[in-house]
Structure 1
Amino acid sequence: MFLHRPLEEKDIPVICGFPQSVDELFYMFPKATYPLTPHQLKEATAHCSDSTVIEMNGTVVGFANFSRWQFRGRCSLGNVIISPSARSRGVGRYLIGYMIDIAFDKHEAQELTASCFNHNVPGLLFYPKLGFQPYAVDERQDKHGARVALIHLRLAKNEL
């Protein structure tokens, strides 16, 4: 039902349509300005590794990459988002499962981290279901200058 593959140029406009609000874009890509443009996404992916899309029935429905990747060190998930039409259908579980495989197999990482803002309740409830555990909280500011918490979660290779 799902296929994974590297990001291609043709996928970028499709992914730009995934964030449905300023908040959703902030969760996916805090530095971006809503609405997400191909230029912003290309610029972001230029500084990331393993940009991956998930297809369901031939349609791109998920995207993620690593904002940090250290061989035998730590990989950190970045720019994770699922198409609104495909949410709650297993795409996120498949996508993060595949990114876990890349982190621990290709990069031989010792841990994989993810970060979620406190308002991103779906993300905060999702990652622990995959074994991620919170380990730190940083104070940040949202697009309106309000204080928000960035909650860091990790999955250690030896905990799989």
Structure 2
Amino acid sequence: MHLTHRPVRPDDIAGICSFPQSPAELFHMFPKANYPLTPAQLSDAIAQRSGSTVVEGNGTVLAFANFYKAEHGGVCALGNVVVAPAARGHGVARYLVAAMIDLARQQFAAREVWVSCFNHNTAGLLLYPQLGFVPFGIEERQAWEGSRVALVQMKQVLIQPA
């Protein structure tokens, strides 16, 4: 499948809201949201964030991500990463993260890209190190149902400080 990416459009939002299939999946994508994800919740997040991007395959939106922090010349922190259920396991997340790293470089001249991944998100924990991310911290958080979870913070250095 040929993948492309572009900035998110208002008509993409309802479809993206259908990607998280459970409260657990939504928590991995968007910890502050309430399941099911609504267009209002997602639109509000997009308005407060930078670089909201979708991946398309054969004209269908397959994935979404943005930056919850985007410092020009500093850190871009990747968030709201989600892939459509039917597209999982086909390299779409890998393509999306690579596109977001390119965006961090080109639009923000970022020195580092950060990503945080909850301990239950095995796919993410295995993917990010393959893409060059290195763990640098762990924070305790509370999951949607109240249990303790670990948020693993990872980064990829794009530009070495002079």
Q: How far apart in 2 are the matches of 1:15 and 1:56?
A: 14
Instruction: Report if aligned partners of 2:62, 2:83 keep a CA contact under 8 Å in 1.
Output: yes
Q: How far apart in 2 are the matches of 1:50 and 1:109?
A: 13
Normalised by the length of structure 1, the TM-score is 0.97
Query: Quick one: which amino acid aligns to residue 74 of structure 1?
Result: V
Offset of 1:86 from its aligned partner? 0.4
Query: Quick one: which amino acid aligns to residue 142 of structure 1?
Result: A
Query: Quick one: which amino acid aligns to residue 13 of structure 2?
Result: I
Q: How far apart in 2 are the matches of 1:13 and 1:158?
A: 36
Offset of 1:8 from its aligned partner? 0.4
Q: Which runs of no fewer than 5 residues in structure 2 stay unpaired?
A: none
Instruction: Report if aligned partners of 2:110, 2:159 keep a CA contact under 8 Å in 1.
Output: no
Q: Where do 4+ consecutive residues of structure 1 move more than 4 Å?
A: none
2:10 — aligned with what? 9
Q: How far apart in 1 are the matches of 2:64 and 2:146?
A: 27
Aligned ranges for residues 21-40 of structure 1 at < 5 Å?
A: 21-40=22-41
**SS of match in other structure, 1:71:** coil
**SS of match in other structure, 2:101:** helix
Offset of 1:90 from its aligned partner? 1.2
Aligned ranges for residues 46-85 of structure 1 at < 5 Å?
A: 46-85=47-86
% identical equivalent positions: 53
Offset of 1:149 from its aligned partner? 0.5
Deviations 1:61-82, CA, capped at 9 Å, x for gaps: 0100000000000000010000
1:103 — aligned with what? 104
Offset of 1:158 from its aligned partner? 3.8
Aligned length: 159
Q: How far apart in 2 are the matches of 1:155 and 1:105?
A: 15
Aligned ranges for residues 140-151 of structure 1 at < 5 Å?
A: 140-151=141-152
Query: Quick one: which amino acid aligns to residue 83 of structure 2?
Result: I
1:119 — aligned with what? 120
Offset of 1:143 from its aligned partner? 1.1
Q: How far apart in 1 are the matches of 2:69 and 2:159?
A: 20
Query: Quick one: which amino acid aligns to residue 67 of structure 1?
Result: Y
Q: How far apart in 2 are the matches of 1:95 and 1:118?
A: 21
Normalised by the length of structure 2, the TM-score is 0.96
Q: Which runs of no fewer than 5 residues in structure 1 stay unpaired?
A: none
Query: Quick one: which amino acid aligns to residue 138 of structure 1?
Result: E
Deviations 1:12-47, CA, capped at 9 Å, x for gaps: 000000000000000000000100000000011111
Give the root-mean-square deviation of aligned CA atoms.
Answer: 0.9
